[in-house]
Structure 1
Amino acid sequence: MKSTRIPEALKHEMTLIIPEWLLLKTGPVREHAVVISDGKFVAVGLATELQQQFAGLPTVMLNDSLLMPGLIDTHHHLTQTFGKSLVFGEPSEIFRRVWVPLEATLNDEHLYLASKMAALEALRGGFTTVCDAGTRSDAGLNAIAKAVIDVGMRCVLGLICNDLGGTANAAPPDEILQRAQRHLAHYEANALISPSLAISIPEVGSDMMLHRVSRLCAEAGRIFQTHANEHLVAVERSMVSRQLRPIELLQRVGALGPQTLLAHATLVTPTELKMLCDTDTAVSYNPVASAWKGNAVAPAHLMSTFGIRLGLGTDGTRGDGFRLMDYAEAAQRFAFGMGGGDSSCGAGWLWCDLATHGGADVLGLGNQIGEIAVGKSADFLLLDLQVPEMLPSWDLTWELVRLANRDQITAVFVAGKLRLWQGWPIDWDADALMRQYIEVAKTVVAQAPITKVHEFSSVHRRQHLTQQASNRNGGTGMGARV
């Protein structure tokens, strides 16, 4: 797997791949192989048997490697990449000060570039599917869809249906619902794009809109997305304006259910957990977002134990699937496990499951992706295991959570097609994209009415050093915010 040359067999339409390890839904196995044809797994089994059954088929032997399902990001914001590090150190609800002002300035070209860069970053981090929560830009979603398709990954693409604010311009309710129905129908036959409807947070949707949008998704077999119970201020605003917490509000208006995916759900009461259980509502657990800007950590291990369906999401923080799994376990250890004496917090396998077939389930795509199985789409990664970080190997599943790195990803396949080799696309110019992207990013950020609470780190350091010098000299100058 150290070669820079792509094995010829990986380029064929029908291929037999024999890795050292294969990660199945039940765990990692040796001496197994897969056959890929027409973008799907057509055979999965013992390598010796498949070699006999498919004699003469182009074959690639991959020693010291793992073939595993592509990772699934169940909560992303593809169009926010221009401002990623602008939010570092910022207090909660950055969407009000950064994301809404930024996204309101984006045109089709900006949306395309931002989304294409986000998709490339996600693929490099092992994600073959992302769920986009919707852009607040007035520009259409076609540019986002085109970007994702051009990169070659799957996307659950959300259309925001707010009727009480949270966007640059709120259309009349009838117009919002008509647009929602068109969106659900528009991508019906698209192999890579799955349409979805979203309301940014429950408070920016009327009772009628929350109910109707959720029902439209249920009827279409698609998912309804909303951010719920993420920040304390949002929970309190909901209690003041609607006399209910966000999840309670969703329950009252009939917007919970198997079609509903709640992003974050960090501040949850026992009553709300029971609501999620009773309605089979799913949750996207976003541990990196909790660490960077959240008020709490979702009790994901407890939710899973109670049967609440879960996936892992980046929230657009960084497109690194292995670091996401690491954070998923670590956040549970810090927030809950250490206090209760739980030394395993899911025993590693839980976070691998949520990053793969668990994520597919909450996105309504469990019959298509998420595992290495006959009939499923051939969305998978080839991972180099012959690296110092992974040796010696005693428990491969847990090692994937705690030790694996994205630089071990040799190849990324979506629908049986090789999309990245050793971190870079094989059929389009990523360098050209990055050059164009950085120039546009400078212009976009300069024009957007963004408000930051904290200075950039270089400015903060100077203020800190100035304060230290003033303190040594007996001064009483104002200190920088820390």
Structure 2
Amino acid sequence: MNDVSPDHLCGTGPRLLVPDVVLTPDGPLESHAVVVADGSFGAIGPAAELERLHPRLTPVRLPGHALMPGFVDTHHHLTQSFGAALAFGEPSEIFRRVWAPLEGALDEESAYVAAKLAALESLRGGFTTVADAGTRAAVEADVVAAAARDAGIRCVLGLLCNDAPGEDSADVMAQAHKHLARYDTDDLIHPSLAVSIPEAATARTLRESACLAAEAGAVVQIHVNEHLVAVERSLVRHGLRPLEHLHHVGALGPQLVAAHATLLTPAELTLLADSGAAVSYNPVASAWKGNAVAPAALMAERGIRFGLGTDGTRGDAFRLADAAESAQRLAYGLASGDSSCGAGWTWLEHGARGGADALGLGSFTGTVTEGAAADFLLIDISTPEMRLSWDLPWELVRRGNRDQISAVFVGGRLRLWRGWPTDWDGPALVRQAVELSRSVLERAAVTRTHPTSTAARAGRHRGRSVAR
């Protein structure tokens, strides 16, 4: 970072930051600066003007850098990080064969380490906020909250409200009430409710969780229309597709974050638009294990709220934005001759501000604006890939990468410097995760249908199917 060290950026007092470019809702602005104070953006404007208005603040000059909002991951499973590399080559609905048994083998220590490891990867990839869709591990949600808080990432923390079959609906809702009230004064944890898939909860619980979340200003995270088999199960059971079922029971509204939403009919798109529900668009998950790509460009055109999500695939925000644009071009743009597919800015916008809005935090984070939480990145734009700049938003989507992230701030505090935490031992956590993951996977009844790449290669040479 040229002559700047992390010492210039640490601390909690007011700071005047002067990068080459500030990425605002109006686009990239040169010769601008920001004042960060009390965890928020205190002022944003021309650098010379802010230096004149704040003579007691020593400007921290950041040559060769852009200051931009942190990305928002609208769909993650933090306690699944020990098995992230088990998803490669697997067919759909691996939650039954991989994620459920893996999370079932977690104890309190391993769940904490797995969640903190996922949070570290997210921060390294430029995410300042992450939505956890609720752990299946037999631990309190506060274990995941502690991991996120200790890592220094903002977390929309889901509590699973599944009550079918055999659960006591009244007890489920009582726990939901407690969860939503538990983090009222927490700086980083924002509680939410979650249901794994619509069929995992009774109609009553789907309806009551929606009402409860709406009253609390929170969201309900539900996997919707992710896989063809899930759509067909819903049709057999209810005579309705999953999104139609949620509408029928009174659970469709602005409080819903529909994760994936890939297999949508025109009628379902209308339901989303009319209800104000939000979608988590997960393009990497579609490529790795899905059945379709959500029509995100069409959603944008119809005013459907959506953000970008990783689904825990990889915590790299720039690669996610690239995948978001590429998936739209491959799935829809090529057939219609649309060479723009969102013009770059669409995916940056929905990767930050749109994601914050989808999670109910639109007035709080996701933009570099006065009064918003100071959740932001410092991006090195002096690299060979970025130095010849003509259109910064497009370049960040198509050519940006995690290695260019010099610093990550959450709530105005420097959390990562060049990929590693500034106030806790990241490498030590990774070593601990390696040791714990071995024992967890040994006792987890994980079933994979695809061999490792080495075994698949050997099987192909011997004339056997790689799927066995």
TM-score interval, smaller chain: over 0.9
Is the 8 Å Cα contact of residues 92 and 290 (structure 2) preserved in structure 1?
yes
**Residue 62 of structure 1 aligns to a residue in which SS?**
strand
The offset of 1:421, in angstroms, is 0.5
What residue is the counterpart of 1:44 in the other structure?
44
Is the 8 Å Cα contact of residues 103 and 136 (structure 1) preserved in structure 2?
yes
Distance 2:58 2:152 in 1: 24
Is the 8 Å Cα contact of residues 449 and 467 (structure 2) preserved in structure 1?
no
Q: Amino acid of the residue matched to residue 214 of structure 2? A: A
Q: Amino acid of the residue matched to residue 92 of structure 1? A: S
Q: Amino acid of the residue matched to residue 232 of structure 2? A: E
Q: Report 1:96-107 matches (<5 A).
A: 96-107=96-107
Distance 2:283 2:197 in 1: 19
Distance 1:437 1:431 in 2: 10
What residue is the counterpart of 1:63 in the other structure?
63
Is the 8 Å Cα contact of residues 12 and 58 (structure 1) preserved in structure 2?
no
What residue is the counterpart of 1:442 in the other structure?
438
Is the 8 Å Cα contact of residues 9 and 58 (structure 1) preserved in structure 2?
no
The offset of 1:10, in angstroms, is 4.5
What residue is the counterpart of 1:23 in the other structure?
23
**Residue 423 of structure 2 aligns to a residue in which SS?**
coil
Question: Which has the greater radius of gyration?
Answer: 1
Which whole-Å deviations, capped at 9, do the CAs of 1:176-218 have from their partners, x for residues lacking one?
Answer: 1111111001112111000000110001111111111111100
Which whole-Å deviations, capped at 9, do the CAs of 1:82-119 have from their partners, x for residues lacking one?
Answer: 00111110000000111111111111111100000000
What residue is the counterpart of 1:85 in the other structure?
85
Q: Amino acid of the residue matched to residue 193 of structure 1? A: I
Change (3 A) 1:9 1:274: closer
Q: Amino acid of the residue matched to residue 306 of structure 1? A: R
Which whole-Å deviations, capped at 9, do the CAs of 1:263-303 have from their partners, x for residues lacking one?
Answer: 00000000000000110010000000000000000000001
**Residue 158 of structure 1 aligns to a residue in which SS?**
strand
Distance 1:266 1:2 in 2: 44
Distance 1:3 1:432 in 2: 29
Which whole-Å deviations, capped at 9, do the CAs of 1:46-92 have from their partners, x for residues lacking one?
Answer: 11110000012122111111000011000000000000111110000
The offset of 1:391, in angstroms, is 2.8
Q: Report 1:75-474 matches (<5 A).
A: 75-165=75-165, 171-467=167-463
Is the 8 Å Cα contact of residues 72 and 128 (structure 1) preserved in structure 2?
yes
The offset of 1:420, in angstroms, is 0.5
The offset of 1:26, in angstroms, is 1.4
**Residue 320 of structure 2 aligns to a residue in which SS?**
helix
The alignment status of 1:481 with 2:454, answered yes or no, reads no
Distance 1:181 1:9 in 2: 39
Q: TM-score, normalised by structure 2?
A: 0.98
Change (3 A) 1:398 1:436: same
Change (3 A) 1:62 1:455: same
Distance 1:46 1:258 in 2: 37
Q: TM-score, normalised by structure 1?
A: 0.95
Is the 8 Å Cα contact of residues 323 and 405 (structure 1) preserved in structure 2?
yes
**Residue 331 of structure 1 aligns to a residue in which SS?**
helix
Is the 8 Å Cα contact of residues 10 and 60 (structure 1) preserved in structure 2?
no
| Structure 1 residues without counterparts, runs of 5 or longer | 468-477
The offset of 1:438, in angstroms, is 0.3
The offset of 1:11, in angstroms, is 3.4
Q: Percent identity?
A: 55
The offset of 1:337, in angstroms, is 0.4
Distance 1:68 1:405 in 2: 14
Distance 2:4 2:39 in 1: 24
Distance 2:407 2:112 in 1: 24
Is the 8 Å Cα contact of residues 9 and 59 (structure 1) preserved in structure 2?
no
What residue is the counterpart of 1:475 in the other structure?
none
Distance 1:9 1:266 in 2: 41
| Number of equivalent positions | 468
State which drifts further: 455-464 or 126-135: 455-464
**Aligned-pair RMSD on alpha carbons?**
1.2
Change (3 A) 1:442 1:163: same
Is the 8 Å Cα contact of residues 2 and 63 (structure 2) preserved in structure 1?
no
**Residue 238 of structure 1 aligns to a residue in which SS?**
helix
Is the 8 Å Cα contact of residues 214 and 255 (structure 2) preserved in structure 1?
yes
Distance 1:376 1:264 in 2: 28
The offset of 1:413, in angstroms, is 0.5
**Residue 148 of structure 2 aligns to a residue in which SS?**
helix
